[in-house]
C-alpha cells in the first residue's frame, strides 16, 4: 500500500528507477479504465439519461479537478460568511470523508470553530442531507463541500479550485496522476478559482490560465491566496502571528499539500527548522502524539510547534514536550476577480425563496 507521499513522488516523476517506471506504467493502464468509467458517467448526466435531483433552495458546489488539498476550506468559509453577513441561513453539506460512524471528520471540526453559527451536515448520501437542511433546518442556501464530481444534486453554481502548484494532476487521470476527471470537465464550472498562485512564477500562472481559457468556457476567473489570520491552540485561545515572527519553529501536518503549509509559515515570517509530513486526513492517536513529543524533545533552539487547524482538532493538546502547540488559521484572500464572483453570488440571492420566518 503506497503512502500519500510515495504516491505523489511516483506520479509526479520525482521518483526515478526501473521500479518506479514500471509502477507508473501499471498506473497508466489502470487510469485508462478509470477514465472510461468517468467519461461514461459524465455523458449520462450531460445527456440527461441520468438526472440530478433538484433541491428547493439554491445549491453552491465547491470542488476540485484533482485529488488532494487545493484550499477548499478557506473558500467555503468565505462563502458562508458572505451569505451570513447578508442574513441568509446557510448549511454546509459534505460526505464526511474519514469520519468514524456518528462522528465529525477533521474538516467539519475545523469549520465548526470557524463558523459556529453555520450548521454542517455530514452524510455519504448528500442528497438526503440536503433535503434535511432545506426541510428541517430551513436553510436558504446550501454549500456542498468537495462536490464537483458529485452530480446527483443539481447545483445553481459550480465553483472549482485549481492549485497552482499542481494544477492539472501531472497530466494524467488517477491513478497515474491526480486528475479526478479530464480537464474538459472544467466546462461545467461557473467559477474557477486559482489558489496558491503566489507559490509559482508569473509565467507559470499565465500558462495555467492559458490552458483554462483554451477550453472556451464561460466562467468567472478568480485568484485566491491563503492569508494567515491568527494562531489558535486546542483550548480555543488566540494569539497574534507577530508573536512568532522571526522565531524558529517546528511544524507538522497531515494535509494534501504540505509544501503549501511550509510556504505559508515562511510567508508569515517564521523559520521552519523541520516539517514532519503525514498523509492527508491522518488520524493522530496516542502513539503518534507520544512520537511527536519525543521528536520535539530531541530538538533545540526553537520557540513553538506549529500545525494546521485541521490537525489541531485531532491532536487536541496545547503543548508538546513543554513547547506550545499552535495552529495557524487561514483565511481566503481574493486578490483578483472578486467583483465577478460576487456578481454570480448576487444572482444566487435572487433565487432564494422568500423567508417564511422573516416577520418573527
Which residues participate in the annotated binding site for ATP? 66-73
How far, CA to CA in Å, does 68 sit from each of 13, 57, 169, 180, 346?
A: 17, 29, 10, 10, 30
Contacts of 233 by beta carbon, 8 Å cutoff, 6+ apart? 239, 312, 318, 324, 325, 326, 327
Specify binding-site residues: 66-73
Find cell 442531507 and name the residue: 129
Distance (Å, whole) CA 112 – CA 197: 27
- Angle ∠(25,30,36) on CA atoms, nearest 5: 130
Is 195:226 a contact under the CB 8 Å cutoff? yes
- Nearest one of 79, 89, 76 to 135, comparing CA atoms: 89
CA dihedral (51, 56, 61, 67) in degrees, to 10, reads -50
Amino acid at each position: 500500500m503506497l503512502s500519500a507521499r510515495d504516491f505523489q513522488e511516483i506520479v509526479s516523476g520525482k521518483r526515478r528507477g526501473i521500479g518506479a517506471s514500471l509502477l507508473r506504467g501499471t498506473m497508466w493502464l489502470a487510469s485508462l479504465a478509470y477514465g472510461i468509467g468517468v467519461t461514461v458517467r459524465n455523458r449520462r448526466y450531460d445527456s440527461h439519461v441520468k438526472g440530478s435531483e433538484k433541491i428547493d433552495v439554491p445549491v453552491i458546489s465547491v470542488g476540485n479537478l484533482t485529488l488532494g488539498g487545493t484550499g477548499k476550506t478557506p473558500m467555503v468559509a468565505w462563502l458562508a460568511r458572505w451569505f451570513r453577513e447578508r442574513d441568509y441561513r446557510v448549511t454546509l453539506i459534505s460526505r464526511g470523508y474519514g469520519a468514524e460512524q456518528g462522528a465529525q471528520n477533521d474538516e467539519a471540526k475545523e469549520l465548526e470553530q470557524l463558523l459556529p453559527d453555520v450548521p454542517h451536515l455530514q452524510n455519504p448520501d448528500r442528497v438526503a442531507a440536503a433535503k434535511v437542511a432545506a426541510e428541517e433546518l430551513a436553510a436558504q442556501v446550501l454549500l456542498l463541500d468537495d462536490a464537483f464530481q458529485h452530480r446527483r444534486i443539481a447545483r445553481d453554481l459550480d465553483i472549482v479550485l485549481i492549485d497552482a502548484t499542481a494544477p492539472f494532476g501531472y497530466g494524467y487521470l488517477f491513478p497515474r496522476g491526480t486528475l479526478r476527471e479530464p480537464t474538459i470537465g472544467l466546462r461545467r464550472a461557473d467559477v474557477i478559482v486559482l489558489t496558491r498562485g503566489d507559490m509559482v512564477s508569473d509565467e507559470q500562472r499565465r500558462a495555467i490560465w492559458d490552458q483554462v481559457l483554451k477550453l472556451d468556457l464561460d466562467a468567472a476567473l478568480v485568484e485566491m491566496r491563503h492569508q494567515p489570520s491568527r494562531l489558535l491552540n486546542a483550548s480555543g485561545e488566540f494569539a497574534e502571528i507577530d508573536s512568532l515572527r522571526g522565531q524558529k519553529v517546528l511544524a507538522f501536518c497531515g494535509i494534501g499539500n504540505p509544501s503549501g503549509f511550509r510556504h505559508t509559515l515562511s510567508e508569515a515570517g517564521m523559520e521552519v527548522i523541520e516539517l514532519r509530513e503525514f498523509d492527508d486526513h491522518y488520524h493522530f492517536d496516542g502513539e503518534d502524539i507520544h512520537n511527536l513529543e519525543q521528536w520535539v524533545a530531541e530538538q533545540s533552539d526553537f520557540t513553538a510547534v506549529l500545525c494546521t487547524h485541521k490537525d489541531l482538532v485531532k491532536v487536541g493538546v496545547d503543548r508538546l514536550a513543554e513547547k506550545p502547540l499552535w495552529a495557524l488559521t487561514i483565511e481566503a484572500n481574493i486578490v483578483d476577480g472578486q467583483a465577478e464572483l460576487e456578481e454570480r453570488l448576487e444572482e444566487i440571492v435572487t433565487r432564494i425563496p422568500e423567508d417564511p420566518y422573516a416577520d418573527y
